[in-house]
């Protein structure tokens, strides 16, 4: 994870990080200029759903969804360029460099694939991925994603509320939490040979968080199936929490009575809590969380954005945390 100095007005990336990031942003800016042609008009082409469909990247099978009617599910902010959303990733199973997942994740085989649903449910069962995909109508959701490291993106996902799956397996009264277990296959994931995390990568939510309509079970993005580096064939997306809560390439969903351990909490308990709700007022012990850089926005020297409480989804999810001390439950 990225280290910032907490005391300076603007945060200083580590020296080791400046070169790759600056280079990356420069290359992106250049490609955009080329794509835009002399007038640069294409830069202003975002104008809602039609524009999005017209810019479907055409790299993977189409997976479209009805625009979601869930409150807050579609931000009107301009989506991040597909190249950025698929070229600058955290997926440590494939390496820790932001470019590693795009470089290495092609080895992941996403068919056949099953997701085991087990634990405290009346109807535990194993789903084939294509059956899971058709369990409920696909929706398009345009979410902000805020990484704990201080950057953000806007991504048009395709999926449906995780609640749709949860309802079908019927949690028992004793179920209080949901744990997500992801693939850890040394044969295709070079990062799993290293000890940076305790594999498999696991995550968890409280049952009411998992049932919230904004919590998405995602199968696609930008109108197509998920690229491997973004968590194919199925991941969750929890837009009001730091990005690491959104587990990729899920193989098991388990309902539990006790709060499940999570990969980042095990790695650094005082830095990555179970809740990890986006909160500009609760700093990471080693850096501020007050601002963020939107990936694709003008490189290293672009003005930073103010980070919003619950990543801007407070109206929808604030009630989940009524009466809780957000500093203690970080």
Ligand X SMILES: Nc1nc2c(c(=O)[nH]1)N[C@H]1C(S)=C(S)[C@@H](COP(=O)(O)O)O[C@H]1N2
Q: What residues make contact with ligand X under the rule CB under 6 A?
A: 89-93, 145, 147, 153, 182, 201, 230-231, 243-244, 246-249
- Residue matched to tokens 């899971």: 132
Do residues 228 and 235 touch, judged by C-beta distance below 8 A? no
> Which residue of this chain has its Cβ atom nearest to ligand X in the complex?
243
Stretches 8-16, 139-147, 166-174, 304-312: which one binds Mo ion (CB under 5 A)? 139-147
Q: Per DSSP, which regions of 98-215 are E strands?
A: 114-119, 125-128, 139-146, 151-161, 177-182, 202-206
Q: Which is nearer to Mo ion, 90 or 138 (CB)?
A: 90
* Chosen residue from 244, 255, 272, 274 binding Mo ion by CB under 5 A: 244
Contact between 147 and Mo ion by CB under 5 A: the answer reads: yes
Written as six digits, the tokens of 305 are 């954005």
Do the bridges between strand 66-67 and strand 139-146 make them parallel or antiparallel, or are there none, so unpaired? parallel
Q: Which is nearer to ligand X, 152 or 161 (CB)?
A: 152
Q: Which is nearer to ligand X, 215 or 230 (CB)?
A: 230
Q: Which is nearer to ligand X, 88 or 171 (CB)?
A: 88
How far is Cα 124 from Cα 186, in angstroms, rounded to an integer? 28
Do the bridges between strand 250-256 and strand 139-146 make them parallel or antiparallel, or are there none, so unpaired? unpaired
What is the torsional sign of CA 174, 180, 185, 191? negative
Instruction: Tell me if 329 is assigned to a ligand binding site.
Output: no
Stretches 2-10, 74-82, 243-251, 252-260: which one binds Mo ion (CB under 5 A)? 243-251
Stretches 83-91, 155-163, 184-192, 231-239: which one binds Mo ion (CB under 5 A)? 83-91
How far is Cα 268 from Cα 214, in angstroms, rounded to an integer? 27
Do residues 98 and 90 touch, judged by C-beta distance below 8 A? yes
Instruction: Tell me if 230 is assigned to a ligand binding site.
Output: yes
Contacting residues toward Mo ion, per CB under 5 A:
90, 147, 243-244
**From the annotation, which residues make up the binding site for Mo-molybdopterin?**
89, 92-93, 147, 182, 230, 235, 246-248
């Amino acid at each position: 994870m990225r280290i910032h100095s907490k005391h300076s007005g603007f945060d200083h990336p580590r020296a080791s990080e400046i070169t790759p990031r600056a280079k990356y942003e420069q290359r992106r800016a250049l490609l955009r200029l080329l794509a835009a042609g002399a007038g640069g008009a294409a830069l202003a082409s975002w104008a809602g759903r039609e524009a999005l469909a017209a810019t479907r990247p055409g790299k993977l099978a189409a997976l479209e969804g009805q625009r979601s009617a869930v409150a807050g599910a579609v931000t009107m902010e301009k989506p991040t360029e597909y190249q950025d959303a698929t070229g600058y990733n955290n997926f440590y199973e494939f390496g820790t460099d932001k470019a590693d997942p795009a470089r290495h994740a092609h080895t992941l085989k996403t068919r056949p694939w099953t997701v085991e649903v087990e634990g405290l449910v009346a109807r535990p069962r194993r789903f084939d991925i294509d059956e899971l995909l058709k369990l409920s109508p696909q929706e398009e959701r345009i979410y902000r994603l805020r990484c704990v490291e201080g950057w953000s993106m806007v991504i048009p996902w395709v999926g449906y509320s995780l609640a749709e799956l949860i309802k079908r397996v019927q949690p028992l009264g004793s179920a209080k939490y949901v744990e997500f277990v992801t693939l850890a296959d040394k044969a295709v994931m070079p990062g799993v040979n290293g000890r940076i995390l305790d594999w498999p990568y696991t995550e968890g939510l409280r049952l009411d968080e998992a049932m919230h309509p904004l919590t998405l079970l995602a199968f696609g993005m930008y109108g197509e199936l998920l690229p491997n580096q973004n968590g194919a064939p199925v991941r969750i997306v929890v837009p009001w929490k730091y990005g690491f809560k959104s587990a990729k390439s899920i193989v098991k969903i388990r309902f539990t009575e006790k709060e499940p351990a999570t990969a980042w909490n095990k790695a650094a308990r005082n830095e990555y809590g179970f809740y990890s709700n986006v909160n500009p007022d609760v700093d990471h012990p080693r850096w501020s969380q007050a601002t963020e850089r939107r990936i694709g926005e003008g490189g290293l020297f672009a003005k930073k954005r103010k980070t919003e409480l619950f990543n801007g989804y407070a109206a929808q999810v604030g009630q989940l945390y009524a009466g809780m001390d957000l500093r203690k439950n970080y």
